[in-house]
Structure formats: structure tokens, C-alpha cells
Amino acid sequence: MAIREILEVPDARLKVVSAPVEKFDADLRTLVADMFETMYDAPGIGLAAIQVGVAQRVLVIDLQPEDPDAAPEECHAHGGHSHSHQPTKREPMVFINPVLTPVTEDETVYNEGCLSVPEIYADVTRPSAIHARWQDLDGNAHEADIDGFLAICLQHEMDHLEGILFIDHLSRLKRSMVLKKLEKIRRAA
């Protein structure tokens, strides 16, 4: 396992549409292991393969903090209200070739952030429940109706596979303000 570099805006690779995974082999297992190690190191709760420069339809998510005494990890999507995640052990989830379909017209607004857009957060509106189909590391098919925080995170990560960042959901003016703020943070660092 290795920690890989996380691409950040304005890296053009973040705009690439990822290709389906066709080989469920040792290389895929290494990629997934590296993605988890990279995500935990960041620290984050979700990561798409394209964020580490691999244009394949692979997502990893873990909504649980590692340390039982730790506060909930902040990352890709976090609510504008407090979440009472009970600290528990890690629950890593892998989604390969995911397909998401909204199952409700109800929407949820979450204050999202992203490892590829560091230190920037903005409200994004998404369907509150989805139907997901995906494959696991062995290529086995799965499907489930998903809602709540996991649904928000999955949609956020799925956007990465389509070359979309959460800031692309913002108005042109808000996106411009966010990118100027990010540039200011980088200059100060």
C-alpha cells in the first residue's frame, strides 16, 4: 500500500470522464488499497480513483473515524448541521462501476468539501435517496436503495467519475468566488 498524491483544482485530469473497470485483478486491488490509505491519511471519508490520477470508475468511502475516541472526520461532504456519528471502527466500502439513480424528488442540501478543492466548502443540493448498482473487488454485482449521508457522499464521489467537482454545482459567481478564495489560501501557505 502507498499514499498517492491527491490531484487538486485546476488539474485538468479532474475533468476527465473515467472509464469502466474491466479487469478485476491484482492491479485493481492495489489501487483500492492505495486509495484507502490515501483517503485515511488526508483524512477523508471518500475518494474517487481520478483524484489520484487513475481514470477508472472506482470509489472508496468510509464514513467511520478510525479512533474510537476521535471526533467525526470532516471531508468530502459534511452537513450544515451537526451529525452525531457514533465513533466506531472503520467500515470501508468499495464501489466499482457504480450507477446511481434518484428514487425520490426530495432533495437535501449539504455543505460539501473535497480533498481536490482543499479548505473550501459550499452548499450543494442533491437527491436525498438513490438506487445504486455497483460491483465489488471480485466483480460481483450489488444493488441497494441508499439515503442519508451515504447517499450524499456517493453522489459527490460519482460526480468525480463524470469529471464534475462539487463547485461545478454552484452558480458561476459563487464558483468564481470559491476559486479566488482557494487561490488566496494557496498564496498564504
What pLDDT shows up at residue 162? 98
**CB half-sphere exposure, 177, CA atoms < 13 A:** 7
Residue 3 lies in a domain: no
Position 180 pLDDT exceeds 90: yes
Residue 165 lies in a domain: yes
CA distance 160 to 179: 18
What pLDDT shows up at residue 23? 97
What pLDDT shows up at residue 171? 93
Q: Which residues, 6 or more positions from 181, have their beta carbon under 8 angstroms from its beta carbon?
A: 120
Q: Pick the range with the lowest mean pLDDT from 59-68, 110-119, 125-134, 162-171.
A: 59-68
Residue 1 lies in a domain: no
CA distance 151 to 12: 27
What pLDDT shows up at residue 83? 37
CATH number at residue 147: 3.90.45.10
What pLDDT shows up at residue 46? 97
Residue 6 lies in a domain: no
Q: Name the amino acid, one letter, at 165.
A: L
- Where in the sequence is the domain holding 162, given as residue range(s)? 12-188
What pLDDT shows up at residue 7? 98
What pLDDT shows up at residue 90? 87
Domain count, the chain: 1
Residue 115 lies in a domain: yes
Position 74 pLDDT exceeds 80: no
Section 140-149 average pLDDT:
96
| Average pLDDT over all residues of the chain | 89
Section 142-170 average pLDDT:
96
Section 105-115 average pLDDT:
95
CA-angle at 175, arms to 98 and 170, nearest 5°: 50
Residue 71 lies in a domain: yes
Confidence band for 1, pLDDT divided at 50, 70 and 90: confident
Residues that are catalytic: 157
